[in-house]
Amino acid sequence: MKILALASALLVPAASVACAQDSPVALVQEAHPAFASAGPVAFAQDGLARDDGQGAIVVTPAQELAVERGLAWLADHQSADGSWVAKIGFKLNNDFRFTADDKGHLGVTSLAGMAYLAGGHLPGRGKYGKNVDQALRFVLSCVQEDGYITYGGTRMYDHAFATLFLAEVFGMTSRDDVKAALQKAVDFIVKSQNAQGGWRYEPYSTESDMSIVVCQVIALRAARNIGVRVPKSTVERAARYVVDSAFMNDSGRDGGMNYPSAFISEIGTFRYQKEVHSRTSFPLTAAGVTALHGLGIYSDELIKKGLDFLSRNRSSFNDEPTPGSRTDKGHYYFWYGHYYAVQAMYTAGSPYWEPYFEDLRTKLLAIQRPDGSWPNEVGPGPAFGTAMGVLILEIPYRFLPIFQR
């Protein structure tokens, strides 16, 4: 498989190739000495970042500007305690029910923190170093004695995003206090895994679903990558759950009657739950493929069929009307689907990655608001949409360890 070549430094204007002290490039090269050996990035006038001739990835000036505007909006809306206020709640069919809308949101804060990390900003260093540091302090303050990370009623989704954030911070800083909290959070994921091999909204639930499983799997993978203990048995049981959730026959439509992505089920799509009549969809298939990648499974016919499904349906998913909110209003299904699809496609490389990302980038640039935020009218709100939009556009930057091939 052709691997799309990419310089390992953040794209900056051609006149600024030399890294200034505390620039994102310099900070990440300091944290990751291997990046420094890649040499300077060569820039063409057309906005292409080129390496030694083996390939190129396009990061346009418009994309860079969109990322910077998104990060600036997040900085302007960060609370004094380091969090981002958003609706705390849960999805219910195509809607989102919230229990609080005036508190810091643990999951959104973790995603926003990762958006800064993915742009090359480290805790206490650089333009947004203070923002990252404050976000980290908030997340660390939410770690309970038993390792559960929660605040204001947040659940296992948020625990997983917070664990992933801690793993990425530790991978970029090697801070002992972060490692200690991270190990506790990982241990909590391990001990709350149920008999099915998965997880659900609440800890120790006897049921599982793909949307929760993938979050835990990626957090565990990020932690394991940097030397945190993750039992092999936990990984194997999670892998079995993901595989069992795949649609394995071609009998036609398999649920989804009231779901925004009611595609005809195909071999290679993934179910919400592993039961036969549970729905399949674009977001769930993206989650399933990314979960398999996170579990160390890269070459498998099931993955190929899943990637083919995502490729064929990306345009319809981007443009489909969602009941109560069109995609361009940032329904949480849109963000959830692309957050995992972009990881699946990037890991797979050519021929999946380039057309997928180019289409998605066009969509994201079109729906960014004049103030720099991205919409999320059904879900936690604009802080969630903005963190997701920035993260997706930053995937090619390759600063986050979890986003590196």
pLDDT, tens digit, for every residue of 369-384? 999 999 999 899 999 9
CA–CA separation, 60 and 113 (whole Å)? 23
* pLDDT given for residue 42 in this prediction: 28
DSSP assignment of 315-375, as one string? HHHHHPEETTEEGGG--HHHHHHHHHHHHHHHHH-TTTHHHHHHHHHHHHHHH--TTS---
**Residue 170 near residue 402, CB atoms below 8 Å:** no
Taking the C-alpha atoms of residue 371 and residue 69, their distance in angstroms, rounded to an integer, is: 8
User: Computed from CA positions of residues 252, 256, 261, 262, in that sequence, does the dihedral angle turn out positive or negative?
Assistant: positive
**Is 60 exceeded by the pLDDT of residue 39?**
no
- At 307-337, the pLDDT tens digits run 999 999 998 898 765 554 456 788 989 999 9
Statement: residue 226 has pLDDT above 70? yes
Alpha carbon distance 144, 185 (integer Å): 9
Provide the pLDDT for residue 58: 77
Q: Could you give the percent of the chain with pLDDT greater than 90?
A: 64
Amino acid type, 43: F
Measured at the CA of 118, the angle between CA 115 and CA 122, to 5 degrees, comes to 90
Is the pLDDT score of 131 beyond 90?
Answer: yes
Per-residue b/e over 134-168, b at no fewer than 16 CB within 10 Å?
A: bbbebbbebbeeebbbbbeebbbbbbbbbbbbbbb
Q: Give the per-residue pLDDT at 230.
A: 97
Domain boundaries, the chain: 1-59, 60-403
pLDDT, position 273: 86
Radius of gyration of the chain (CA): 20
3-state secondary structure at position 342: helix
> What integer is the mean pLDDT of 121-142?
96
**The whole model's pTM is what?**
0.84
The CATH fold assigned to 60-403 is Glycosyltransferase (1.50.10)
Q: SS3 for 326?
A: strand
pLDDT the model gives residue 355: 93
Give tens-digit pLDDT for 254-290. Answer: 444 344 444 457 878 999 888 767 788 999 999 999 9
Q: Greater confidence, 277 or 116?
A: 116
